Copies of this chain bind each other. A is one copy, B any other.
Amino acid sequence: MVTTRYPTTTGHGATPTLEALFRPRGVAIAGGFANPTSPGHHVLSSLRESGFPGHIAVVHPGESSLQGVSAYANLESIPGPVEMLVLAMPAVAVADCVEGIRRRAYHRKDLQVVVAICGGYAETGTPEGIARQQELVHGCHNAGVRLVGPNCQGVLDNRSRLDTTYLTGASRRASGISVLSQSGSMGAWLALEWASLPVPVGLSKFVSLGNMADVEMTEVLAYLAEDQPTRAIGLYVESHVQARALLEAAGAVALRKPVVLLKSGRSSVGGEAVQLHTLSSDLSHDAAFRQAGLIQAERVDDFSAILSAFDRLPLPLGGRVAVLTNAGGPGLYTIDTLMKHGLAPGHFSNPTRMTLAATLPAHSLLGEPQGYVNMTAAVSPRQTAQAVAAVLRDPGIDAVLPLFIPTRWGAAELMAQELLQLLPGVRRNSLDKPLFPVLLGGAAVSRARQLLEENGMLTFGTPDAAAAALGALVRFALGRQAAPTGD
């Protein structure tokens, strides 16, 4: 999308403004109430469903209340604090919007941030759209108010129970994952995918940035770097008027917290779609992003798996991996996939080999190749857990990937119970090496994955997702060890 960026407003410290973005004392919604399927109603529903504890009000001249929330004739007349305004008015009404913002800011002095969700601005590429966006940006600037969007879905924060989006299925569970996205619908996709997992992935903060006419991704990124609950940051980027600035900002953050990047508009045609030919050279240089310490995800499912792993697993000390499998074919497939991500197999110590030989079924293959154990389909759940524990103790191994497929005689739930019993450290998150259990079989292992996840163990549904996550953790860990200023 085309963004017309207004020079950064001086006199705004980033932190107080973004505090109001994530923890406003009160929120008002203006416009978008023409009928029950209009955006204002969806935002109001999201705010109420999230259990937002602050003040909520609605601007609607014709009603006294909507969905049980008090309505007022104009923004200025709302009693109580309004630190955030969610603007759902059509873009053609921009003059009215600006006037309302001006009056609220002048008379009440509480408004901090406007979230403009509607489209019809610069992203249309039309002179009118660009002019409207400039008018909105100027109006907010003159009122001393920051602007998120326009053409965005605003913000979700599961800790402050704020939700101005109209995502469906977004988890209300707080995690250590925060996501910044240029596209609101990309957030919608992630929310629905995460809700469909055996145990839904939680979110700390989500910000849909839209046209970034004022608040830029770099600014929110800097905020998240300091945000204690955020352990891993996901960025969805289509284009950026200042790709180098993003690279710099993200690179600085990436020394301290993992920053995982998902990009579109990489191909020349995708680039054309976002009308940013001039930027494609910056954006297509994957090497630059890598060099800045950012972790790039190839696919949406990898993006999710990598973020979850950073949120929930300890970092490995190195990249020496062990794979234990009850199925040969999928085991080899996993080895190949790990190698694609640049990982190297570890070497088992002699005590580990002896323990494995004493524990596992007769025809098991131990360390052929190095770091690989085919326990065969005859392995019992107890033996599986014992073997995983033995390999975790080996000082030559940094991370363990147990691979399991249910058979007619081996149910996944039994294996899960044994794993939890033999690895009590998982419950207390006190394992010092990351474990990447892959349970193959979709619906057939759903219950077992729930059992493991509810007891604190992250699980994966494919070797591909686990290998992407493991590769990312190893790269981040080694990069941090090498960085002079890493903490």
Q: A404–B101 Cα gap in the complex (Å)?
A: 36
Q: A270–B42 Cα gap in the complex (Å)?
A: 51
CB-CB contacts below 8 Å: A318-341 with B = 326-333, 335-336, 339-340
With A269-B339, A444-B169 already in contact, the answer to whether A120 and B328 are too (CB < 8 A) is no
Contact A196 B464 (CB under 8 A): no
Size range of the interface on A? 35 or more
Closest chain B residue, CB of each to CB of A368: B273
Q: A103–B188 Cα gap in the complex (Å)?
A: 67
Q: How far is the CB of A305 from chain B (nearest CB, A)?
A: 13
CB-CB contacts below 8 Å: A165-214 with B = 166, 168-169, 181-186, 188-189, 192-193, 195-197
Does A272 make an interface contact (CB < 8 A)?
A: yes
Against B, the Cβ 8 Å flags (1 = close, 0 = not) of A254-297 are 00000000111111111011110000000000000000000000
Contact A407 B444 (CB under 8 A): no
Closest chain B residue, CB of each to CB of A183: B329
Among A186, A188, A193, A440, the one with the most B-chain Cβ atoms within 10 Å of its Cβ is: A188
Chain B residues whose CB sits within 8 angstroms of the CB of A336 once the complex forms? 263-267, 270
Chain B residues whose CB sits within 8 angstroms of the CB of A193 once the complex forms? 440-442
With A275-B368, A336-B267, A406-B192 already in contact, the answer to whether A363 and B124 are too (CB < 8 A) is yes
Which of A218-226, A369-377, A386-394 participates in binding chain B?
A: A369-377
Closest chain B residue, CB of each to CB of A120: B363
Chain B residues whose CB sits within 8 angstroms of the CB of A183 once the complex forms? 327-330, 332
Q: A363–B118 Cα gap in the complex (Å)?
A: 11
Contact B195 A329 (CB under 8 A): no
With A335-B273, A464-B299 already in contact, the answer to whether A363 and B327 are too (CB < 8 A) is no
Chain B residues whose CB sits within 8 angstroms of the CB of A78 once the complex forms? none
With A267-B339, A329-B184 already in contact, the answer to whether A273 and B440 are too (CB < 8 A) is no
Contact A270 B441 (CB under 8 A): no
Does A301 make an interface contact (CB < 8 A)?
A: yes
With A185-B327, A363-B124, A442-B195 already in contact, the answer to whether A270 and B335 are too (CB < 8 A) is yes
Does A460 make an interface contact (CB < 8 A)?
A: no
Q: How many copies does the complex hold?
A: 2
Contact A440 B189 (CB under 8 A): yes
Does A238 make an interface contact (CB < 8 A)?
A: yes
Does A37 make an interface contact (CB < 8 A)?
A: yes
Does A345 make an interface contact (CB < 8 A)?
A: yes
Contact B273 A185 (CB under 8 A): no
Contact A272 B363 (CB under 8 A): no
Contact A42 B441 (CB under 8 A): no
With A363-B119, A441-B193 already in contact, the answer to whether A333 and B168 are too (CB < 8 A) is no
- Given A299-B462, A300-B333, A301-B462, 20 new contacts (CB under 8 A): A119-B363, A124-B363, A183-B328, A185-B377, A185-B405, A188-B405, A188-B407, A192-B441, A192-B442, A193-B440, A193-B442, A196-B443, A265-B336, A268-B339, A269-B345, A270-B332, A272-B368, A273-B335, A273-B369, A300-B464
Binding site for B on A (CB under 8 A): 1, 37, 42, 45, 119-120, 124, 166, 168-169, 181-186, 188-189, 192-193, 195-197, 236, 238, 262-270, 272-275, 299-301, 326-333, 335-336, 339-340, 345, 363, 368-370, 372, 376-377, 405-409, 440-444, 462, 464
Question: Ordered nearest first, which 3 A-B pairs have the shortest CB separation?
Answer: A196-B442, A183-B329, A185-B327
